[in-house]
Every structure is written in C-alpha cells, then in structure tokens.
Amino acid sequence: MPRKVDFLVIGSGIAGLTFATKIPRPADILILTKKRKADTNTNYAQGGIASVFSNEDSFDSHIQDTLNAGVGICHKDAVEIMVSNGPRLVQELYDMGCRFSVDAQGKFLLGREGGHAKRRIVHAKDYTGYEIERVLLERAKQRGVVISENEIALDLVVDNDECCGVYYFDADTRRIDILYADATALATGGAGQVYMHTTNPPIATGDGIAMAFRAGTRIANMEFVQFHPTAVFTIQVDGRSFLISEAVRGEGGILKTTEGEPFMDKYSTAGNLAPRDIVARACVAEMKRLGTTHVLLDISHLPADFLRNRFPTIYDTCLRWGIDITREPIPVVPAAHYACGGIQVNTQGETSIKRLYALGESACTGVHGSNRLASNSLLEALVFATRAAQHAGDIAGLAIPRDVPINATPDKCPDRKLMIKEIMSRYVGVIRNKQGLIAARDQVRRLYAEIADGIHYKNAESLNMTHIALMIIESALRRQESRGLHYMEDHPGTDPEHAHDTVIDRTSILE
Ligand code: FAD
Ligand code: SIN
C-alpha cells in the first residue's frame, strides 16, 4: 500500500506548525522537515511580530505603513486581513505560553522598527522566534502531529492538475519514495542561501518555491529580495551572518561611517528608522563612497544594563566575537534576509494547483508588495497559515493515482551552490543594472544546462538554488524600473506602468 496521510506539511517553522496545529478536525497530519525540528528561520527571528495593541495605534495606521513600504503593489485586501487578525492570533500565542516581554501590568512592551509610525512590535527580548518555535513545537506534540526529521522533500507529485503529495528522500531507508496526502502544504521558508552573505540558516535554499515552480504553479515578485542593513561584518554562526535586529535602531542605535559620522539623515527624514530598502542602499552608498567593507552601528551611548537586558542574544554573541556593544560600535553590512516573492496564493493560501497550499515565506500573499515592513513576516505566516488550515479542513479525500513513476537521476546534478552565490552576490544584490542581470542570466543558464532532467536527491538544494536564481534574475529583468527593494541603476525612477506583480511560471524560463 502506498503511504498516505490526510495532511502533509513540508517545513516546521511558524507557518508549517501553525497550519498543522490548526486543522479543525481530527486527522492524520505529518510534517516533513529536512534537518532538525527547530532548524528554521523562525527560530532566529529577533525583533518581533508586528500587531496593533497600543491605544495610540490603529489598524488603519498599520495598514497604511505596510502599503507605504510596499510602494503601490501590495494587495490591500490581504493587508487588511493580516493586520486585523493580528492581535487575536498574537494574543493566542501568548496564552499558549510564548514569553513575550510585558510590563508590570502584564501589557505587551511594544518595540519600534523601521517604517512603523507607532510602537507595535510584540517581542520576547531579542529571541522572539525561539519562543514562538518552542511553543508551537509543544502544541504540535500535544495535538499528535507527527514530525519526521531529516527528510527532504524533492518534488511534488502532480496528476491531472492536482497535487497528490511529494517525492522525498527517506533518511531511514535511504530511498526516494512517495508520500500521498489529501492536501499538501509547502512551508519551506525563504531562499537567502542563494547569496554569499545571508542572515538565513543553511535550510533556506528555496526548496518549496523551486518544487512548485517545476510543478507549474505561478510564482510572483521574486525580484524583491530584502537585504537587512545590519548583519555583523565577519561573524558567521552556523552558516549564517549574525543579525543585529532593527529593534536596536528602534531603541536609538545610530548608523555611522567607519570614520564615526552618522549618515542616515542624508538619505531619509526618518533617519535610522527609514524602511529597510532605503537603509540598505544608504549603507552600500556610504561603503562605496569611502571605499570601506562595512559601516558601523552604534548603541554604546545607552546604559549598559538596559542593553544587556533588552538584547541578551546580541550582547552575548557579539561579546563572544570580541565586540562589547555597551562600549563600542558594531561593524555591519547588508545581507540577504527575506524573500518578498514566492508561490502565488490567494487569501486562503491556495496555489494555482489543486490540493496544494503555500504558506509563510515560501508564499506570496501580496501583503509585502515590493518591500516587507519589519516584523510583518511572522505575522503574515501566522495569519495566512491559520486561514489555510481552516480552508483545508473541508478538503475531500484523494483518489491515489496509479503507477506514478520515480524518475531519479542520482549523480547528474553537480553541486553549484558556491557558484550561484557568487553570481547572485556580484550581479543581483542591493543595486542592479540590466547588463549585470543579463550576465548573471547567461552564467546561471550555463550552469543549468549541465543538469539532467529527473528527481535529484544528492544535490537537490543545488538544483533548487539554480531555479531560484533564474526566477530572481528573470523577474528582475522584467522590471525595468526601481521600486522598493528592486533598484536599477539604469532606471532609478518608479514607473506607474510597472505598478503590478511580476508573475512567472516555468514556461517563462525553462521552455
Ligand atoms: P521557516 O521558519 O524558515 O521554516 C522552513 C522549514 O522548512 C524548516 O523546517 C526547513 O527545514 C523546512 N524545509 C525547507 N526545505 C525543505 C525540504 N526540501 N524538505 C523538508 N523540509 C524543508 N520576521 C519577523 O516578522 N520578525 C522578526 O523579528 C524576524 N527576524 C528575523 C531574523 C532572522 C535572523 C531571520 C533569518 C529572519 C527573520 N524574520 C523575522 C523573518 C522570519 O523569521 C521568517 O520569514 C519566518 O520565520 C519564515 O517562517 P516559515 O515558517 O515560512 O519558514
Ligand atoms: C529584525 O529583528 O531586525 C528582523 C525583523 C524582521 O526581519 O522583520
């Protein structure tokens, strides 16, 4: 008998765990995750989760800030859903045991981050993601959700335009096998690993987006790669550049040149709290102007006790690397951080293939437009995974297709990760131009030509990263303007003709 579950979830971050724990009926639910349970972007989230809790705040204000950051292409209906469902679902996480920081009256202490007009960032000091992951893993255990570690999903099984499950590499049997499900949810996170410097852990190779792309779904807005302005220059922890949360600037941190000159006021009236795209470009411009490898982030003017208590992870990690943030500035550089684009879904998380949902960072719900506002990612994942679970609850049973072949090609995909990272970092970073994008496309296409058809399992991530790179480059080439995170030197202005999503599928690139 083929192995079948009711609900199959790929990924154990906030999106996958929320979906799995919110299916509204008794069901057989399995999560596949490619490393250990908590090896997720979620686990490293620092700043917090944006939501309206203050009396001085309003849904309208949060909606407007989100739309402003996205520069004309956010889907307003999706933004409204995200913002208005936020307080209820964030409160639910707290009630489940998430140790968010609160004041003496038990009210959330609200942080401030770039692009937000108000204090609205609910946080657990600087380890918000760790707390969310911990609580959701506990909830999954209580609910009887099975989490299978070290299992890598390779491709979707699609029959008659319906997703029937996945091909996966079974770590126990060392074989490729098929898992069938009534509904499959991709919650595989982002793709920061296609760049040399990224805040994302090694799992973030864009697998779900690449799998959905190969299966023929619509993919939107891949050109909008968010670079976080402040990753520590030179500190790599477990394959990722260590992040200094935007909350540090929210509490008064100041960006300075290596000569000690504050520079953000030259670039935005919002200064150090301008949206991320503006801050990242300003850092790159200052590094270029002065010929330096990094800029500085200085928070040492605040009381040492406050810093140690508010940012314990950042304080301890920097200290281990010889930087005392209470006494000296931190050397920082922009690093790839977040994929605003992904698998195009509607507001129930449905993709363009039946029985297939996409959630969290691997999905494009339309809420971020051309630039995600700080701390809106955890919120988006929470809200839309909840809605997708409610929707999926009604799905009918799958008739398992017969004789699905397993066309595996074990040795035919060479490891190209490093080459992809080099190409993407050189030509498809914070500042782009048409000539560079064409050079990148030619080089990645040459790498792709060496890859055979079939299911690759030895170097599945390498194949996925090649596809992600092609999607980012193709989408960037289609947008001959500058908007949000996508800045073209040869088209510095924003063109109203381009005020729409960039939607591609495999026929745009591979056929
Ligand atoms: P993830 O949490 O990344 O989970 C992906 C899961 O999919 C993992 O379990 C992974 O192993 C699994 N997976 C991937 N491929 C496969 C495969 N082929 N087979 C099986 N399993 C697979 N956002 C905020 O809103 N606020 C913040 O403060 C914040 N801080 C951040 C700090 C850092 C350092 C980083 C990197 C991101 C931060 N973000 C923040 C962004 C946010 O954390 C992520 O966008 C969000 O956690 C993504 O959740 P997810 O569930 O979609 O994916
Ligand atoms: C941070 O803490 O700066 C990250 C917040 C985010 O990515 O939203």
Q: Tell me what pLDDT residue 234 has.
A: 83
Segment 215-252, tens digit of pLDDT: 999 999 999 999 999 999 988 888 899 999 999 999 99
Crossing angle for the helix pair 434-449 and 460-478, nearest 10 degrees? Answer: 150
| pLDDT at residue 411, rounded to an integer | 65
For residue 14, the CA-to-ligand 1 centroid distance in Å is: 7
Q: 375 CA distance to ligand 2 centroid (A)? A: 6
DSSP 169-206: EETTTTEEEEEEEEEEEE-----GGGSSSBSS-TT-S-
Per-residue pLDDT averaged across 113-141, rounded? 97
> Which CA distances in Å does 63 have to 51, 57, 216, 368?
10, 11, 32, 11
**Ligand closest in space to the Cα of 229:** 2
Instruction: Please check whether the two domains, 227-335 and 409-509, share a CATH topology.
Output: no
Nearest-CA neighbor of 18 among 336, 324, 314, 379? 379
* Per-residue pLDDT tens digits for 11-61: 999 999 999 999 999 999 999 999 999 999 999 999 999 999 999 999 999
- The yes-or-no answer on residue 175 being catalytic is no
Which residue has its alpha carbon closest to ligand 2 atom 1? 245
CA of 21 to the centre of ligand 2 (A): 25
> CA–CA separation, 76 vs 79, rounded Å?
5
- Of the pLDDT bands very low, low, confident and very high (cuts 50, 70, 90), residue 257 is very high
Contact at 8 Å (CB) between 347 and 365? yes
Give the 3-state secondary structure of residue 6.
strand
Q: Is the CB of 374 under 6 A from ligand 2?
A: yes
Dump pLDDT digits (tens) for 440-468: 999 999 999 888 778 888 889 999 999 99
Pocket test for ligand 2, best of 113, 198, 340, 361 (most atoms within 8 A of CB): 113
Tell me what pLDDT residue 508 has. 85
Task: Show contacts of 23-27: CB within 8 Å, 24+ apart.
Answer: 23/389, 23/392, 23/393, 24/389, 24/390, 24/393, 25/393
CATH of span 409-509 = 1.20.58.100
Residue 374 CA, closest ligand 2 atom number? 8
Substitution candidate for ligand 1 out of 42, 123, 310 with most atoms within 8 A of CB: 42
CA distances from 99 to 134, 297, 415 (A): 10, 28, 41
Q: How far is it, in rounded angstroms, from Cα 108 to Cα 102?
A: 4
Closest-approaching ligand to the CA atom of 30: 1
Query: Which pLDDT score, from 0 to 100, does residue 319 have?
Result: 97
Rounded average pLDDT over 131-144:
98
**Looking at residue 510, what is its pLDDT?**
79
Identified catalytic residue from 214, 249, 276, 372: 276
- The chain-wide mean pLDDT, for the chain, equals 96
Atom of ligand 1 lying closest to residue 16 CA: 51
Looking at residue 237, its pLDDT comes to: 86
Closest by alpha carbon to 359, among 225, 186, 215?
Answer: 186
User: Could you tell me the distance, in angstroms and rounded to a whole number, from the CA of residue 428 to the centre of ligand 1?
Assistant: 22
pLDDT at 179: 96
Q: What is the pLDDT of residue 1?
A: 73
Is pLDDT at 345 greater than 80 in this prediction?
yes
Q: How far is the CA of 199 from the centre of ligand 2 (A)?
A: 10
**For the chain, domain boundaries:** 227-335, 409-509
Nearest atom in ligand 1 to 123's CA:
28
Residue 39 in contact with ligand 2 by CB distance below 6 A: no
Once rounded to an integer, what is the mean pLDDT over residues 191-206? Answer: 97
User: How buried is residue 84: exposed, middle or buried, by Cβ count under 10 Å (0-12/13-18/19+)?
Assistant: middle
Residue 500 burial class via C-beta count within 10 angstroms: exposed 0-12, middle 13-18, buried 19 and up: exposed
Q: What is the rounded distance in angstroms from the CA atom of residue 492 to the CA atom of residue 502?
A: 18
Q: Considering every ligand atom shown, identify the ligand nearest to the alpha carbon of residue 179 and give its number.
A: 1
Fold of 227-335: Flavocytochrome C3; Chain A, domain 1 (3.90.700)
- Does residue 375 have its Cβ closer than 6 Å to ligand 2? yes
Measured from CB, residues less than 6 Å from any atom of ligand 1 are 10-16, 32-35, 39-42, 44-49, 128-129, 152-153, 187-190, 199-200, 203, 207, 243, 338, 360-362, 375-378, 381
- What distance in angstroms lies between residue 318's CA and the mean position of ligand 2's atoms? 17
Choose which residue among 14, 44, 46 to substitute to test ligand 2 binding: the one with the highest number of ligand atoms within 8 A of its C-beta: 46
Cα 449 from chain centre: 28
**Closest ligand relative to 130 C-alpha:** 1
* Ligand with minimal distance to 50 CA: 1
CA-nearest of 44, 114, 130, 116 to 86 is 116
Distance 114 CA to ligand 2 centre (A): 9
pLDDT digits over 163-193, tens only? 999 999 987 788 899 999 999 999 999 999 9
pLDDT tier, 79 (very low <50, low <70, confident <90, very high otherwise): very high
Q: Calculate how far, in angstroms, residue 385's C-alpha sits from the geometric centre of ligand 1.
A: 13
* Residue 121 pLDDT grade (very low, low, confident, very high; cuts 50, 70, 90): very high
